[in-house]
Structure 1
Amino acid sequence: MFDWIPLLFSIILLSLDGFVIAFIFGLKKIRVKLTALMVIAIFTSFIMLFALFFGHVLGEVIPTRGLTVFSGMLLIGIGVYQLISDPPIYRPSFLFQLAIIINIDGLAYGIQAGMNGRGYSFAIFVGIFIFFALVLGIIQGQTLKNPLIVNHLSILPGLIFILLGLSKIIF
């Protein structure tokens, strides 16, 4: 009955990175073309599609409990990576790196989601949500002036991934 709730939560979680990064762009008044955001969203969908396929293949080989523990470790790894990495993405010349950074956790999560049998349409929804997260992040960053908020938003995705990973391993 409520199968769409975890799906929506996963998509929003994957979009948080894009939102936070675009928010920083907005704060720094960096102009990003709408076509560049569309390319990043399409790239994200293709990465997710690839990751889901790879996850489906792995899901046929690895036992279910092993999948749960492995996916939990992947999510914890993603969260730790996000907490300790600080790439210089705030310059316009780093848009390609922006696409890669947004997709690092997406790749790992896509593999995990594929191993758990998530459908391929998930990739399309992730791309759409990433696009809107990027646009909204830039708009919010341009209107908000408090840099303290950026510090708190930047750790949120990492902490959420770690908590999700721990919940998969413990429960």
Structure 2
Amino acid sequence: FDGISAALSSFKGVGRRFQLTGEVNGIKVFDDYAHHPSEIKATLSAARQLNPGRLISVFQPHRYSRTAMLADRFGEAFSEADIIIISDIYSAGEKPLPDVSAALISSAIEKFEGRKPIYLPSKQDIVDYLLPLMQSGDMVLTMGAGDIWETGVALVNNLKERQ
């Protein structure tokens, strides 16, 4: 029993599953590997329960084939987010497909939610957009199976530099 207890007490959870990237001046930045509509919906629902403030979702679609196949289902996945930012697709080695881009997801969200997500193609564009916008009480949640987590790290580092 002592061995099990010691192991559980030192368990830090699974990486990239609602992982705190950092907190600066009351702004919390989390990252999650969510890249499927049902995962995104569940992650945002959990975030909403934990945070009464503004919930800012930053999503990087993963693979052109997955985006084409699931685009419509992404429409209802972001309902808990106050601000929805969509970046370019992380290809994961796939070649681009004709007419498949982040715009498919943006259109699905706009159709389902009646509001237009903010399209920012690059991680730096996202950081530049969010830095002046974020305020104490906000939770930023980066989501995707690609390298979007780097955006959260950059946000935290920039917030620390501004202190």
TM-score tier after normalising by the smaller chain length = under 0.3
Q: Name the one with the larger helix percent.
A: 1
TM-score between the two structures when normalised by the length of structure 2: 0.24
TM-score between the two structures when normalised by the length of structure 1: 0.23
